[in-house]
Amino acid sequence: MVLGIALCMISPLGFSAVGADMYQANVAVESQSMEDREDGIKLGLGTVIVRLSGQRSAVSEPEIQRALKAADRYLRSFSYERQSEDKLALQLQFDPELVQGLLRRAELPMWVSGRPTVLLWVAVHQGRDKFILRPDTQPTISQLVEEQMARRGVPVRWPDQRADLSVEALRLLEVDAIREATARYSEPAVFASSIYIRENVEDGETVEQWAGRCLYLSQTDAQRLNCQRGDSETYVASAVDSLADVLSDRYSVQIQGGEATQLRIQVADIDDFDSYGRTLKHLQSNALVRAANVIEVAPGRAVFELELQGTEQQFIESLAQQQVLQPAPVDDAYGLLQYVFNTRGG
C-alpha cells in the first residue's frame, strides 16, 4: 500500500525554471514488492501530471487515466531509499519528453514558464503560544508546508530572522502590514496564513484540529484561498492546492504540438565557463525547449540554437518571468534574440 509522497524543491530566486526535478516523485511504500512498486509508480506519475499541468483534475482526463494504467512506460528510472527503520521510499524519475507528449495528447496546459518563488508568512496559535513559523525553530510544521508546496511544484522561501511583521498583524492577515514586511524581499508572490491549532478528544484520544485563514498576495492584488479545517495535512494540503491553482491559472500555457520552432539566441556577458554552463543549463531546463545547442562562442558572448515546442512569444515571456536572462539592446545581429546573462538571477 502506498502511504504518501514527499518531494522537496526550494529555491531562493524570484522565479524557478521548470527543470528535471519536476519529473521526479518520492513515494512512500510498504515493501519492494512488484504490487507496491506498480502502485507507487502510478501515484508518482499522477503527482507529476498534476504538478506540470497545474490542474488537480488532470488525472481524471481519459487520456491520463489510460496512461496511469501503464505508468511504467513513462518511467526513466527508480530506486529505493530506507529513510528510517519503518519508512521505505520509492524514488522515481519520469521521462520529460514522454510526459510532455502525454500532456499534449490529453490537450492539457503545461506550467512551463518560470514558477514564482513564494514567500511564506505563517502565524501559528497553539494554546498560549503564538509565533511566526520558522524552519529552524519549528522544523516539523515547516517540513509539512515545504513537502506540500513541493508536491505541487511551488518553490518557497521563508522570511529571515529579521521579521518586520508582528504576530498580531499576521493573525489578522493585515494586507498592508504584510506588504510592508515583504518589500525588502525579491519574491513576486506571498502566501500568508493564520493557523489555530486546538486539541480535541475523540474516542479517548487527543487529536489536533487545524483551522484558520489563508491569503495569496501578488504585486498587484490579494486573494483569499481555501483552507479546509481538519488535521494538519488536510489543512496544509488544501491551502497549497488552492494557492497552486491560482498560480497555475496565471502561468500555465498550452504547449504546441506538431513541428518544432527553430530559434537562435545570443547571450552576452558570458565571461567564463561557469556563466556559460549556467546559461546552457537554464535554457535546457525550460520545458518549452526540446533541444539547445551552442553554435558560436566568442569573448563575452555565445550563440545558442534552440528547438522549441511552443511559440517564440511564449519562450520570451518565460525568460522575462525567470529573470536569469535579460533583454539586451538590439544590434546588427540580424535574426537573433539578444539577451544578457544576469549574474544575480543565474
Question: Are 229 and 209 a contacting pair, CB within 8 Å?
Answer: yes
Nine-digit cell at 81? 531509499
User: One digit per residue, pLDDT tens: the chain, 346 residues?
Assistant: 333 333 333 333 344 444 447 899 999 999 999 999 999 999 999 999 999 998 999 999 999 999 999 999 999 999 999 988 888 999 999 998 899 889 989 988 877 656 788 999 999 999 899 999 999 999 999 999 999 999 999 999 999 887 789 999 999 999 999 999 999 998 889 999 999 999 887 777 888 999 999 999 998 889 999 999 999 999 999 999 999 999 988 877 666 555 678 899 999 998 888 888 888 888 887 767 888 999 998 889 999 999 887 778 878 877 876 678 888 876 655 678 999 988 665 4
d(CA 336, CA 120): 39
C-alpha cell at 46: 499522477
pLDDT in the model for residue 266: 93
Taking the C-alpha atoms of residue 60 and residue 150, their distance in angstroms, rounded to an integer, is 21
The reported pLDDT for the residue numbered 18 is 45
Residue 5 contacts by C-beta under 8 Å, 6 or more apart in sequence? 25, 26, 27, 28, 43, 44, 47, 147, 151
Helices (H), the chain: 34-53, 62-68, 96-105, 139-151, 167-171, 175-182, 232-251, 273-285, 312-322
Q: Is pTM, for the whole model, over 0.75?
A: no
pLDDT for 171: 93
In this structure, are residues 191 and 238 in contact, taking their beta carbons and an 8 Å threshold? no
Element (H, E) at 11: none
Query: What was the pLDDT predicted at 136?
Result: 92
Distances (CA, A) of 56 to 41, 51, 182, 234, 243: 18, 8, 29, 15, 12
The Cα 76–Cα 67 span in angstroms is: 15
